[in-house]
Amino acid sequence: MLRLSKTQRRHLSRFIILLGVVLEYQISAAAAGTINLYKGIVIRHSVTIKTKTYHFAGEDSLSTAPIIIEGDNIVVNFNGAVVEGSADFENPDKFKGTGVIVRSGKNIILKNLTLKGFKVGVLARNITGLKITGCDFSYNFRQHLNSNRAAEDLADWQSYHHNENDEWLRYGAGIYLRNCDKAEISNNVITNGQCGLMMTACNDGSVYNNDFSYNSGIGIGMYRSSRNRVMNNKLDWNVRGFSYGVYYRGQDLAGILVFEQCNDNIFAYNSVTHSGDGFFLWAGQSTMDTGEGGCNDNLVFGNDFSYAPTNGVEITFSRNKIIKNILHDCWHGIWGGFSYNTVIANNDFAGNLSAIAIEHGMNNTIAQNSFTDDKVCLELWSNPKRPKDIGYLQKRDTRSTAYTIRDNVFAGEKKMLSINNTSDVTFLNNRVKGSVLEQKFDTTVNNLVFDKTGDKAIRVTDNTYLAEPAQIPGAQNAMLPAAHPKGRQYIMMTEWGPYNFSYPILWWNKTDSTGRMHFDLMGPRGQWKFIKATGALKPSALSGTFPAKFEMQKDTTSLTNIDVEMEYRGGAIVSPFGIKNDRGHPYHFHYREFDIPYHWQMKWFAFDTLSDPVKHAAQFGKLLAGKPLKVSAGSNLDKTFGRNFGKNIPREKIATVSESQIDVPAGNYRVGITASEIVKVYIDDKLVLDNWDPAKIVNFEDNHYEAIIPLSGRHIVRVVQAQYGDYGTLNLSIKPVYKED
């Protein structure tokens, strides 16, 4: 038995009393409903958080967080509290860690939290009955984009094909849920990040009344998630890989992403405009391998998917219902490759390059739609010689056959039909006005029947396909206001993502043959003032109001190094990085353009097993010191490398060595290289970028490597690149790192 002295007993008694006071204070504070957060807090009971701003740096691991929540039947009211991770707001690609982890329990409610500066805002696993409402998880992680106004960088493509091991987490998220059944996600905001809400193995939930817009990745992503209702959400401008009039790739981004065995979901009354794809559904890799399953029996009803750079709706290798949606001004209104038993009805198509395109489709119905001024209306085809290189093609009937196209209205269609290698197509009672109805098909088209189709056909509408999903009580009208800018020209990509119209911007439109630069001044109502410029002369005006046109003369006497500084005064605004600027306070913004005149000389080589660049570095070095197969030159490294390597240059196992002299002002520069597959960059024979391990190149983004490097004056840049496969890209970027005012 432990014996204590009289003094020790007295100290112990005081400690117990003090501990009791502390516990009593904590209990009374919780009962009163307000406690302070601290890093490492574990919340196990209902509580209200004291309203203030808390600063908790994110950890290197996503599996730990400054705030942990666990327990049953608890409500955590953050009461307007703000939790900030990284203080380096202007470098969101450096954000790390998770803000809040919900790790065990059921029937947990999180509400009224603002959280930013992390890679993942809230991460929850294995929670039944989780509810997140009234929260703002904007301004969390997003990648720095390598694509620009002039050219796409293929390293910006994202891949979502697998998520068994949480691969999606490499892109961050405002909310990331796994195995969270019966979740309710409502009235939250996630903007100016990369991904909004990402769900894996989450069933029977509701996602409604949220605003997940203006992200550079995905608005809502679902993987192996079924029987959910996704309704009345704002999911506009979730996009990258687009430059108006230059390229429109979309890079596998979407307002709504549905991958891998997601069934019986309802997607209704959402606004999903100006996104890479509006709705992107793919059956999943397991279906590709086995031919079984798919993303089936989903209802896509009453949404607006307009102004997608690629597809308003993409549905592949599955059966679904696409009913009463708006699909205007997309590349494809609907891309339905390998869709079967699918209903496309009562939709509004207009101004698309192609309204509906389906390859290898079977038993599909296209009914009661309206088509107006599409360049091509219906494209139906198959490729009988397509190699059966995947399990789906080996185990499934993939003929293009058995279409019913009835009771549609076609007006002003440039070309109504493009049909090849397809059989058993019935056109019944379609009204055609001012359209080109092509009826001369080759011998690959069999059993094509037209009945009562023409300008005198009577429009027939019944309710066969119009089983409208029940509205959620208190549902918001998610559609864009009539006065809001609309159209693909308003997909205005910055280096961090889409412009959101809430802060002032000087947007370059063109530089004419005289060197005159033409801009739009866009943003909230207010006053603008020209402050100063380098590399550009003769502003067309010195002040004015938003919106406005603005011009300057490009100074062509030196290196293109333009910095135009403007000032805004008006209402309160939020910067592109989430920094608030109060009403009436001056806010400075810039247009910057920097271009180095390169003169590349590129030498081409072919290597073999004995001169492998990784396994036999010495022999590879001797190869590069020898005679090249070809020497090419150009001012742009990407174009000099090209896509067609030319005669006597193999597509695989090739290497290049490229050199150019540069001359730049003193400063810090972001030097980046995108290459297929391995690459080293030297400046003045000093290795500055090293991406020479093929094992580390798994995803598209792994093909890009960059660093901040001080440069001044003349330098020699040398790029050594090698690739084993035939995927060819090589793109170098050297841009100043600007220090903001």
List pLDDT tens digits, range 186-239: 999 999 999 999 999 999 999 999 999 999 999 999 999 999 999 999 999 999
pLDDT digits (tens, 9 = 90+) for 239-272: 999 999 998 888 889 999 999 999 999 999 999 9
Name the more confident of 577 and 7.
577
3-class DSSP state of 603: strand
Q: Specify whether the CB–CB gap between 356 and 375 falls below 8 A.
A: no
- Per-residue confidence band for 441, with pLDDT thresholds at 50, 70 and 90: confident
Question: In which residue are the tokens 């603002």 written?
Answer: 114
Burial class of 273 by CB neighbour count within 10 A (0 to 12, 13 to 18, 19+): buried
Mean predicted confidence (pLDDT) in 72-77: 97
User: 229: part of which helix (H) or strand (E)?
Assistant: strand 229-231
Quote the mean pLDDT of the chain: 92
- pLDDT tier, 26 (very low <50, low <70, confident <90, very high otherwise): very low
CATH class of 600-736: mainly beta
Tell me the mean pLDDT in the region 661-685.
Answer: 95
pLDDT band at 678; cut points 50, 70, 90: very high
pLDDT (0 to 100) of residue 14:
54
Place of tokens 């002003």: 412
Has residue 601 got a pLDDT over 70? yes
Domain boundaries, the chain: 347-464, 502-593, 600-736
Counts of helices then strands in the chain (DSSP H, E): 5, 54
- In 47-192, the DSSP E strands lie at 47-48, 53-55, 67-84, 98-116, 120-125, 131-133, 173-178, 184-186
Burial class of residue 23 in the structure, from the number of CB atoms within 10 Å of its CB (0-12 exposed, 13-18 middle, 19+ buried): exposed
User: For the chain, how big is the Rg over CA atoms in Å?
Assistant: 29
In this prediction, residues 399-406 reach a mean pLDDT of 96
Whether 579 has a pLDDT exceeding 50, the answer reads yes
Instruction: State both tokens at 551.
Output: 């011009």
Give start and end residues of each alpha helix (H) in 571-648. 617-625, 637-641
Residue position matching structure tokens 């020898």: 626
β-sheet bridge partners, residue 430:
none
The SS3 of residue 9 is helix
DSSP state of 234: B
Cα–Cα dist 588/502, whole Å? 14
Residue 123 pairs in a beta bridge with 101, 176
Strand order in the sheet with 505-511: 505-511, 516-522, 548-554, 536-537
- Closest to 125 in 3D by CA, of 78, 83, 72, 70: 70
Average pLDDT over residues 565-574: 97
Residue with the larger pLDDT of the pair 23 and 565: 565
Amino acid in position 611: S
How far apart CA 44 and CA 185 sit, in angstroms, is: 21
pLDDT, residue 6, reads 55
What is the average per-residue pLDDT within 636-646?
86
